[in-house]
């Protein structure tokens, strides 16, 4: 693959770009680079804002002057190859679009973006499908193994508004999960702080940690089986792997979870047909400033998960 050298340069943040995190700005600016390289830039102070070093979580402001380091990027025409199957899958997965938003029923096994050894994700595929679209950005993320509602913004103002809603808790997020064992005690509010273990840009695990960030999940049993329970889970926060860690900590690990789950149980359920994590982002609900009425999106349970439920004896 040929590369082009891009020297160090300074850019001024526009009003349309303002409000986003510095790391997210860099991810969009250098889409071809691994996230580990972006984090290294920030850690080593290669990126300067108004002449000084600054944290990756800083929200850039209109008029800020950013000094970007020299980089080598793939030459034009060296875009990653996207299979026709992936293009067809994502084209068929769109469940809503308007002037502000695009909503996709993301399949399990597909990352939302490239990086960490992944050549393409949903955002790269949708941009390939819509080359004339001037702006398409992820409004949030889903784990690669999780299916369901994924929200994209079609202009900067919508993205900023959605990020504000996410930070303020203005989005209702509901999931369906199949956990091991019969759930006891009915509906339950779980408030366990979570922290990430490992360096930024590396494969990291999430764990319960009193010094971590607040994480609140609401578990409600929907259907009890002899050796499993279908749960409806609503989350007030959006910590990485939140539902998976909370469920495992309670003693009801998600079936098919190869990181926090029960290895032996996963092997048994794989023989029963469950070959993925049973976690599905079923519903999103929110009000978008300037728009009349509430947005309500639902993604139907994928066929492979519905077949598992249909095959279980009560």
Sequence spans of domains, the chain = 3-73, 84-159, 170-311
Report the alpha-carbon distance of residue 24 to residue 11 in Å, rounded.
15
The whole-number pLDDT of residue 3 equals 66
Specify whether 227 is catalytic. Answer: no
Closest C-alpha among 90, 159, 167, 75 to residue 121 = 90
The whole-number pLDDT of residue 118 equals 74
pLDDT in tens, the chain (314 residues): 556 777 888 989 887 778 888 988 888 788 777 778 888 889 999 999 999 888 888 999 889 999 998 887 766 555 668 889 999 999 999 999 999 999 999 999 999 987 766 778 899 999 999 988 888 999 999 999 999 999 999 988 898 899 889 888 899 999 999 999 999 989 999 999 999 876 554 445 888 888 889 999 999 999 999 999 999 999 999 888 999 999 999 999 999 999 999 999 999 999 999 999 999 999 999 998 878 789 999 999 999 999 999 998 65
For the chain, how many residues are written?
A: 314
DSSP lists the bridge partners of residue 157 as: none
Whole-structure pTM value: 0.79
Superfamily name with CATH number, domain 170-311 = Pseudouridine synthase (3.30.2350.10)
Do 84-159 and 170-311 fold alike per CATH?
yes
B/e letters for 114-139, b = 16+ CB within 10 Å, e = fewer, are bbeeeebbbbbbbbebeeeeeebbbb
Highest CATH level, class, for 84-159 = alpha beta
Distant-in-sequence, close-in-space partners of 227: CB < 8 Å, separation ≥ 6: 180, 181, 182
DSSP lists the bridge partners of residue 29 as: none
Which of the following CATH numbers is that of domain 3-73: 3.10.290.10, 3.40.50.300, 1.10.10.10, 3.40.440.10? 3.10.290.10
Residue ranges of alpha helices (H) inside the chain are: 22-29, 35-43, 84-93, 122-129, 156-168, 242-249, 263-271, 303-311
Which of these is catalytic: 64, 100, 143, 257? 143
Looking only at the bridges linking them, the beta strands covering 147-153 and 279-286 are: parallel
The whole-number pLDDT of residue 202 equals 46
Please spell the DSSP secondary structure of 249-314, one letter per residue. HTT-PBTT-TTTS-HHHHHHHHHTT--S--EEEEEEEE--TTSSS-EEEE-PPPHHHHHHHHHS--
């Amino acid at each position: 693959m040929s590369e082009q050298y891009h020297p160090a340069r300074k850019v001024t943040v526009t009003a349309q770009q303002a409000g986003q995190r510095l790391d997210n700005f860099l991810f969009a600016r250098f889409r071809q680079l691994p996230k580990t390289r972006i984090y290294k830039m920030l850690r080593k102070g290669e990126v300067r804002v108004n002449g000084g070093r600054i944290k990756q979580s800083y929200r850039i402001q209109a008029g800020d002057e950013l000094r970007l380091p020299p980089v080598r990027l793939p030459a034009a025409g060296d875009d990653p190859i996207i299979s026709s199957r992936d293009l067809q899958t994502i084209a068929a997965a769109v469940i809503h679009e308007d002037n502000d938003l695009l909503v996709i029923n993301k399949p399990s096994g597909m990352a939302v973006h490239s990086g960490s050894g992944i050549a393409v994700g949903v955002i790269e595929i949708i941009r390939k499908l819509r080359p004339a679209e001037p702006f398409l950005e992820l409004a949030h993320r889903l784990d690669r193994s999780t299916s369901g509602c994924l929200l994209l913004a079609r202009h900067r103002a919508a993205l900023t508004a959605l990020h504000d809603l996410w930070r303020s808790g203005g989005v209702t997020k509901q999931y369906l999960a199949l956990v091991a064992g019969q759930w006891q005690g009915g509906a339950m509010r779980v408030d366990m702080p979570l922290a990430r273990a490992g360096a930024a840009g590396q494969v990291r695990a999430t764990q319960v940690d009193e010094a971590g960030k607040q994480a609140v999940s609401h578990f409600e049993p929907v259907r009890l089986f002899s050796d499993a329970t279908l749960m409806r889970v609503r989350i007030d926060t959006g910590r990485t792997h939140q539902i998976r860690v909370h469920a495992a900590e309670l003693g009801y690990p998600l079936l098919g979870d190869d990181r926090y789950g029960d290895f032996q149980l996963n092997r048994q359920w794989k023989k029963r047909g469950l070959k993925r994590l049973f976690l599905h982002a079923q519903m999103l609900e929110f009000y978008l400033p300037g728009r009349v009425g509430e947005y309500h999106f639902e993604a139907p349970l994928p066929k492979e998960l519905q077949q598992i439920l249909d095959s279980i004896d009560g």
